[in-house]
């Protein structure tokens, strides 16, 4: 054990255990950690201050400087308040939206943030109950607020919570505001946090914003006639105990779907997520109950949203009649294929349309865009970058859709974060459109592969928790930078990109990468079409490897063999990268 680190942690913990600033429960929790023979929990709770990063906070809940609690939420909120008052000093009124998901303590953290903002003379619009993340984004624009706070840890495990900061455009903060807020947060001590705000500054919101949001979502329907003909489409929906239950069933009904069944066990708000191992719809296990109900009801499609209802997961029957999960890259392809194809068929394309994907998302999206001559933005992971691309092109081009491989899609520009309520409705419409032609959603996916070629994507997550894990992840990235592979699984690396230095090497020639900021991401493009991306997670203690490769595919009958061939190739790639 590092004795110096332990002493530093004990010194900080002693302040938490004895100072009247902290409530009795917190002090007792810290004392218990200090007295425990195993000091690993103490060190992990106090070895650093939970970083207010460019997106806000996210961490395990509990006592300590490196935990999500009312004190770390307090300094974050006071810092944000200070920055808002500086940045909008000329405004007579500064206002902010606060929303929450279903997680334990989300309401406690939200009330704390509202009280602090009110104590700083900032008006707060706070939702009366949990709401989807995209509705918080929508509300900021709808109510003409200057900022927003969303208390959520998205799809992270149950012990986590988080704090997302938004700007007046409804997007998560970007530079210069992200750095400006961070500087203000870092200046704040626990003693600096103002509390006891006047209640007149706190306004509860709910149904009026719901109606405006639902009405806006309804405008996204491209083929309402197909829905009318297929209104009995069998839909199973689960919110995984989260915020989607507040909006998605209503939205599907408004679009005209009359045969929607919600998973009853998961329509109960519960931050402990008792029916799943993990509330992440990217994991097939999370859809177990929904697929069980789909079999009972002989449904056409299963739709799930994560706890804060920004991500969407779908499942449908494959060519064997078995329920199969459609992964995030496939979902993105289906959405854009449908939107573009149907806009073309209906004569809605004017030539100024654009779409956006993230750099780790399948390159198949570009093939679809290129066929129709549509501009495609390629941005960093995170919807704040997709929102930034929308902002850059506002008034110049028409945004028609964008997303990322991690099950996020945004079909509109009236909110600026990934939006599962609108995506749930749109995927149901796509399924209805397919059924109207005597096809299934699976057959639409096979049509895409037949037309554009087959692509297989695999994500490998190497989890390394705690301080030692963070150090190991940092070292892994440095090792890849110092020893960039010249070939991967026998195929020559023809393009190497380092988004931290914003330099690329293409066929031995160094070039600049044009991006709005730097990011700790590495990418390798191989001669055989393989693409590998490497990045540390910004929200979890892991480093992520994204692999994309191809295989022979002529007809839908080739799908299983193509997947097998690609999976075997991925195994070789993983071994080649040394991440077994």
Q: pLDDT per residue over 344-370, tens digit each?
A: 999 989 999 999 999 999 999 999 999
Hey, what are 378's tokens?
């390629």
Total-model pTM:
0.93
Q: In sequence order, which residues have a C-beta less than 8 Å from that of residue 557 and are 6 or more positions away?
A: none
* pLDDT at residue 371 tops 60: yes
pLDDT tens digit sequence for 145-167: 999 999 999 888 999 999 999 99
Mean pLDDT over the full length of the chain: 95
Q: What letter does residue 172 receive in the DSSP assignment?
A: B
Instruction: Name the pLDDT band for 284 (thresholds 50, 70, 90).
Output: very high
Q: How far apart are CA 550 and CA 572, in angstroms?
A: 14
Residues 369, 375 contacting (CB under 8 angstroms): yes
In the chain the first and final C-alpha atoms are separated, in Å, by 28
Coil vs helix vs strand at 425: helix
Cα-atom radius of gyration of the chain, to the nearest Å?
24
pLDDT at 539: 65
pLDDT tens digit sequence for 79-100: 999 999 999 999 999 999 999 9
pLDDT at 155: 87
Coil vs helix vs strand at 411: coil
Instruction: Name the pLDDT band for 56 (thresholds 50, 70, 90).
Output: confident
* pLDDT at residue 541 tops 90: no
* pLDDT at residue 335 tops 70: yes
* pLDDT at residue 463 tops 90: no
Alpha helices, DSSP H only, in 146-239?
177-187, 207-218, 224-229
Q: What are phi and psi of 364, to 5 degrees?
A: -60, -30
Instruction: Name the pLDDT band for 580 (thresholds 50, 70, 90).
Output: low
CA angle 51, 54, 58 (to 5 degrees): 45
154 is catalytic: yes
Residues 179, 167 contacting (CB under 8 angstroms): no
Residue 325: strand pairing partners: 315
pLDDT at 98: 98
Residues 22, 16 contacting (CB under 8 angstroms): yes
Name the strand (E) or helix (H) holding 457.
strand 456-463
Instruction: Name the pLDDT band for 466 (thresholds 50, 70, 90).
Output: confident
Q: How many residues does the chain have?
A: 580
pLDDT at 52: 84
Alpha helices, DSSP H only, in 88-150?
106-119, 133-142
Residues 566, 550 contacting (CB under 8 angstroms): yes
CA angle 557, 562, 565 (to 5 degrees): 145
Residues 48, 66 contacting (CB under 8 angstroms): yes
* pLDDT at residue 1 tops 60: no
Name the strand (E) or helix (H) holding 567.
helix 559-577
Alpha helices, DSSP H only, in 39-124?
40-46, 70-87, 106-119
Q: How far apart are CA 18 and CA 30, in angstroms?
A: 9
pLDDT at 513: 96
pLDDT tens digit sequence for 419-435: 999 999 999 999 999 99
CA neighbor of 133 nearest in space, from 440, 513, 462, 419: 419
* pLDDT at residue 467 tops 90: no
CA angle 458, 235, 368 (to 5 degrees): 45
Name the strand (E) or helix (H) holding 18.
helix 3-18
* Positive/negative CA dihedral, 226, 228, 229, 232: positive
Q: What are phi and psi of 32, to 5 degrees?
A: -60, -40
Q: Kindly state the average pLDDT of the residues 275-301.
A: 96
Q: How far apart are CA 343 and CA 354, in angstroms?
A: 13
Q: How far apart are CA 465 and CA 473, in angstroms?
A: 10
pLDDT at 307: 96
What are the chain's domains?
A: 1-44 (no CATH), 48-205 (3.40.120.10), 217-438 (3.40.120.10), 456-577 (3.30.310)
Which whole-number Å values give the CA distances from 69 to 44, 61, 73, 108, in the listed order?
15, 6, 6, 9
Q: In sequence order, which residues have a C-beta less than 8 Å from that of residue 121 and are 6 or more positions away?
A: 85, 94, 201
pLDDT tens digit sequence for 471-503: 888 899 999 999 899 999 999 999 999 999 999
pLDDT tens digit sequence for 201-257: 999 999 999 999 999 999 999 999 999 999 999 999 999 999 999 999 999 999 999
Q: How far apart are CA 145 and CA 142, in angstroms?
A: 8
Of 154, 420, 491, 519, the active-site residue reads 154
* pLDDT at residue 465 tops 90: no
Residues 243, 133 contacting (CB under 8 angstroms): yes
E strand spans, 168-293: 202-205, 235-238, 260-262
pLDDT at 270: 97
Instruction: Name the pLDDT band for 51 (thresholds 50, 70, 90).
Output: confident
């Amino acid at each position: 054990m590092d004795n110096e680190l332990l002493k530093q942690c004990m010194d900080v913990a002693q302040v938490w255990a004895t100072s009247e600033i902290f409530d009795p429960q917190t002090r007792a929790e810290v004392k218990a950690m200090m007295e425990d023979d195993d000091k690993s929990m103490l060190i992990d709770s106090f070895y650093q201050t939970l970083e207010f990063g460019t997106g806000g906070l996210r961490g395990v809940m509990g006592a300590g400087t490196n935990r999500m609690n009312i004190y770390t939420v307090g300094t974050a909120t006071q810092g944000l308040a200070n920055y808002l008052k500086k940045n909008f000093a000329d405004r007579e009124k500064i206002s902010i939206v606060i929303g929450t998901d279903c997680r334990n303590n989300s309401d406690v953290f939200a009330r704390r943030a509202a009280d602090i903002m009110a104590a700083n003379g900032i008006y707060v619009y706070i939702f009366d109950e949990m709401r989807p993340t995209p509705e918080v984004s929508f509300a900021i624009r709808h109510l003409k607020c200057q900022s927003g706070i969303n208390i959520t840890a998205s799809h992270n495990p149950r012990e986590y919570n988080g704090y997302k900061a938004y700007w007046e455009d409804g997007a998560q903060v970007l530079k210069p505001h992200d750095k400006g807020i961070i500087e203000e947060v870092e200046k704040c001590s626990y003693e600096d946090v103002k509390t006891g705000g006047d209640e007149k500054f706190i306004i509860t919101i709910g149904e009026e914003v719901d109606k405006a949001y639902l009405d806006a979502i309804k405008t996204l329907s491209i083929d309402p006639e197909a829905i009318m003909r297929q209104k009995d489409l069998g839909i199973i929906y689960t919110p995984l105990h989260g915020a989607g239950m507040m909006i998605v069933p209503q939205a599907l009904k408004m679009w005209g779907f009359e045969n929607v069944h919600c998973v009853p066990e998961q329509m109960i708000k519960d931050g402990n997520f008792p029916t799943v191992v993990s509330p992440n719809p990217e994991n097939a296990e999370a859809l177990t109950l929904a697929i069980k109900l789909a079999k009972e009801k002989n449904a056409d499609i299963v739709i799930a949203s994560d706890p804060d209802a920004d991500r969407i997961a779908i499942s449908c029957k494959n060519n064997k009649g078995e329920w199969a999960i459609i992964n995030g890259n496939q979902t993105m392809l289906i959405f854009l294929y449908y939107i573009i194809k149907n806009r073309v068929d209906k004569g809605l394309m004017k030539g100024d349309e654009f779409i956006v994907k993230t750099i780790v998302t399948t390159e198949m999206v570009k093939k679809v865009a290129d066929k129709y001559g549509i501009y495609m933005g390629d941005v960093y992971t995170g919807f704040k970058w997709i929102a930034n691309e929308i902002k850059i092109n506002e008034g110049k081009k028409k945004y028609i859709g964008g997303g990322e491989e991690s099950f996020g899609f945004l079909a509109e520009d009236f909110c600026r974060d990934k939006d599962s309520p609108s995506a749930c409705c749109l995927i149901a419409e796509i399924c209805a459109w397919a059924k109207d032609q005597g096809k299934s959603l699976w057959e639409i996916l096979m049509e895409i592969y037949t037309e554009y070629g087959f692509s297989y994507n695999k994500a490998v997550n190497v989890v390394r928790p705690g301080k030692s894990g963070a150090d190991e992840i940092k070292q892994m990235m440095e090792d890849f930078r110092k020893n960039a592979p010249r070939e991967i699984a026998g195929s020559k690396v023809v393009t190497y990109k380092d988004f931290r230095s914003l330099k690329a090497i293409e066929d031995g020639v160094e070039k600049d990468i044009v991006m709005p900021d730097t990011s700790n991401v590495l990418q390798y493009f191989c001669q055989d079409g393989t693409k590998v991306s490497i990045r540390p997670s910004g929200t979890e203690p892991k480093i992520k490897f994204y692999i994309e490769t191809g295989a022979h595919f002529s007809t839908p009958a080739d799908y299983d063999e193509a997947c097998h061939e690609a999976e075997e190739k991925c195994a070789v790639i993983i071994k080649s990268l040394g991440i077994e």
